Amino acid sequence: MDTPNESAMLCRKAGYTFTFLSDPKGEVIRRYDLLHRAGSPDGKDIARPAEFLVDASGEVRWRNLTEDLRKRATPDDVLKAAQLLH
């Protein structure tokens, strides 16, 4: 739910070359059921951790959702999921 400027700064700082989604109103986060109400240390709404595999037509083919920032899909998890989609 970062502002466009915050997202751009995070991209530059990390050296990413792909586009980040800025969703300050949480519209996309809500659409994908990713809203973690009051999840930030200061009580702001944030997106909960998630990973998606999306096919060329835009269909979500695999997702991993969690409530715990420390528990994310590993690269091996994502590769295994991708291989099962073929």
81 band by pLDDT with thresholds 50, 70 and 90: very high
Q: What is the pLDDT of residues 41-50, one digit of tens each?
A: 899 888 888 8
Q: Are residues 40 and 59 in the same domain?
A: no
User: Domain limits at 65?
Assistant: 49-86
Closest CA to 81 of 67, 64, 57: 64
Strands 60-65 and 35-36: unpaired
pTM confidence score? 0.62
Contact 24, 7 (CB under 8 A): no
pLDDT at 86 over 80: no
Domain count, the chain: 2
pLDDT at 13 over 90: yes
* Predicted pLDDT at 83: 92
Q: Are residues 1 and 43 in the same domain?
A: yes
Handedness of CA 62, 18, 70, 40 (dihedral sign): negative
77 band by pLDDT with thresholds 50, 70 and 90: very high
Closest CA to 30 of 1, 70, 63: 1
Q: Are residues 39 and 54 in the same domain?
A: no
Q: Are residues 59 and 75 in the same domain?
A: yes
Q: What is the pLDDT of residues 20-61, one digit of tens each?
A: 778 888 898 898 888 888 888 899 888 888 899 988 898 999
Q: Are residues 5 and 40 in the same domain?
A: yes
